[in-house]
Amino acid sequence: MLFTLFWTFFKIGLFTFGGGYAMIPFIHRYAVEKYKWITDEEFLNIIAIAESTPGPIAINSATYIGHKVKGIKGSFFATLGVVIPSMIIITLIAMFFIQFKENVYVEYAFKGIRIGVSILILNAAIRMYKKLDKTILSFLLILVGFALILFEILPVILVIVIGGAIGIIYQITMVRGDENA
C-alpha cells in the first residue's frame, strides 16, 4: 500500500503541469474513484483545508490522503511521491535555463500547456461545484467570492476565511432553528 501511495502521487506530480490546482482532477480520479481512499465529501473538505492552510495544495492533499490511508508512513510516502517529480523537473530546468528561456519552441509549448492547465482547473471547479449542496447561500458565496478574487478586491485567503465564517454561522443558525422548531 505504501508503494501504491508513493507511485500514485509520483505519477500525479510527474504528469501534471500547472501546479496544485491542475492536480485536483487527477487526485480525485485516483483517491476517490480508482482506489476509494476517500469519499467525495472528504475530497471537498481536503481541498478546502489544503487551500486555506500554508503550503501547496497538492502537498497538503497528498499528506492528508496518505495519513488517512496508512498513517504517518502514508503521509511521508504520498508527500514524497508528489514532491520528487517537481524537484527533478526544476533541477533540470535550472541546469538548462538559458537554453530553455531563449528557445521559441519551448515558449510556444508553455503557451499551449497554460491553456491545458486552465481547462484542467475549470474542470476541477465544475466537478467540485456538482458535489456541493445547491443552496442560495452556496451559490451566492461562489459568485461573490469569485468576483472578489477576480477583481482583486480581497486576497484569496481572506475570501476563504470569510466564506468559512459565514458557513459556520449559517450552520449554527440552522441547527438552532431546527432545535426551536
Most distant pair of Cα atoms in the chain: their distance? 70
**What number is the average pLDDT over the span 107-126?**
83
Do residues 12 and 107 make contact, with C-beta atoms less than 8 angstroms apart? no
Contacts of 138 (CB under 8 A, 6+ apart): 132
Q: Is the pLDDT of residue 180 over 70?
A: no
Q: Cα torsion at 128, 156, 22, 116 (round to 10°)? A: 100
**What number is the average pLDDT over the span 148-161?**
90
**What number is the average pLDDT over the span 56-85?**
94
DSSP letter, residue 152? T
Domain ranges of the chain: 2-132, 134-181
**Residue 168: exposed, middle, or buried by beta-carbon count in 10 A (0-12, 13-18, 19+)?**
exposed
Phi–psi pair at 106, nearest 5 degrees: -65, -40
Q: How confident is the model at residue 15 (pLDDT cuts 50, 70, 90)?
A: confident
DSSP letter, residue 39? -
Q: Which triple of cell numbers denotes residue 70?
A: 496508512
| Percent of the chain scoring above 70 in pLDDT | 96
Q: pTM above 0.75?
A: no
Q: How confident is the model at residue 18 (pLDDT cuts 50, 70, 90)?
A: low
